[in-house]
């Protein structure tokens, strides 16, 4: 059976892309990817434009989370794991969204040819829009005032550290909804990091 990688990628559910063994993105599943790009007003992403040729880690925000993803990809490329699946969040202002992020090796005989990434939304819940996830509004507030306090946001679960301006070991981690209930607002600069719960899970579950 001759099956082109392109048609396989295009036929898979969710957002899919293929990287080379070093993590450089070589192709994307066009149909779902383009629908995602259009829905997010990002025409530069159509057909993988602005991501193909770049390393997947370039698009992970937060140093500690990038390190986790790097360890995952290295465990796959180093043949230490058959696959990796991470539960993650990707909210937009009016939607709470949980997703699976899965990485699998693509081997020919015993040598690694590529890594296949699939991102599947497993749960979407509507909610009143929350500005903290409206990046255009956040950017506009930042350019109007460069001295806004930093707000730590967990890259995995998207909880935030209340109050804004708290630093490591300080403040209280809570959902974005809880942050607003306590009087928090979106006049902040988001600083992506890992909350203590996700940090502990990361230590227990991910390869080292």
Query: Which stretches of the chain bind Zn ion, using CB under 5 A?
Result: 154, 156-157, 195, 198
Comparing CB distances to Zn ion, the nearer of 17 and 173 is 173
CB of 176 to Zn ion, least distance (A): 12
CB of 197 to Zn ion, least distance (A): 5
Q: Counting beta carbons within 10 angstroms of the beta carbon of residue 107, is it exposed (0 to 12), middle (13 to 18) or buried (19 or more)? A: exposed
Comparing CB distances to Zn ion, the nearer of 84 and 198 is 198
CB of 98 to Zn ion, least distance (A): 12
CB of 180 to Zn ion, least distance (A): 18
Comparing CB distances to Zn ion, the nearer of 69 and 156 is 156
Comparing CB distances to Zn ion, the nearer of 72 and 116 is 72
**Which residue, among 111, 100, 109, 55, has the nearest Cα to 78 in the 3D structure?**
111
CB of 179 to Zn ion, least distance (A): 13
Comparing CB distances to Zn ion, the nearer of 73 and 156 is 156
CA distance linking residue 28 with residue 34, whole number of Å: 9
């Amino acid at each position: 059976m001759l099956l082109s990688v392109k048609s396989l990628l295009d036929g898979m559910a969710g957002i899919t892309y293929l990287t080379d063994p070093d993590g450089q993105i070589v192709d994307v599943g066009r149909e779902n990817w383009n629908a995602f790009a259009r829905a997010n007003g990002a025409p530069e992403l159509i057909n993988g434009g602005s991501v193909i040729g770049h390393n997947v880690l370039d698009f992970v925000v937060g140093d500690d989370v990038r390190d986790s993803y790097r360890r995952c990809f290295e465990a796959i490329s180093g043949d230490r794991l058959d696959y990796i699946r991470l539960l993650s969040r990707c909210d937009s202002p009016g939607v709470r969204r949980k997703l699976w992020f899965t990485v699998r090796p693509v081997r020919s005989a015993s040598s690694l040819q590529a890594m296949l990434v699939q991102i599947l939304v497993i749960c979407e819940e509507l909610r009143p829009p929350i500005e903290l996830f409206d990046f255009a509004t956040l950017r506009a507030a930042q350019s109007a005032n460069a001295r806004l306090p930093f707000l730590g946001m967990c890259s995995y679960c998207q909880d935030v550290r209340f109050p804004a301006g708290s630093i490591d070991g300080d403040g209280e981690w809570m959902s974005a909804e809880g942050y607003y209930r306590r009087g928090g607002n979106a006049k902040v600069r988001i600083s992506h990091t890992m909350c203590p719960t996700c940090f502990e899970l990361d230590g227990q579950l991910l390869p080292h």
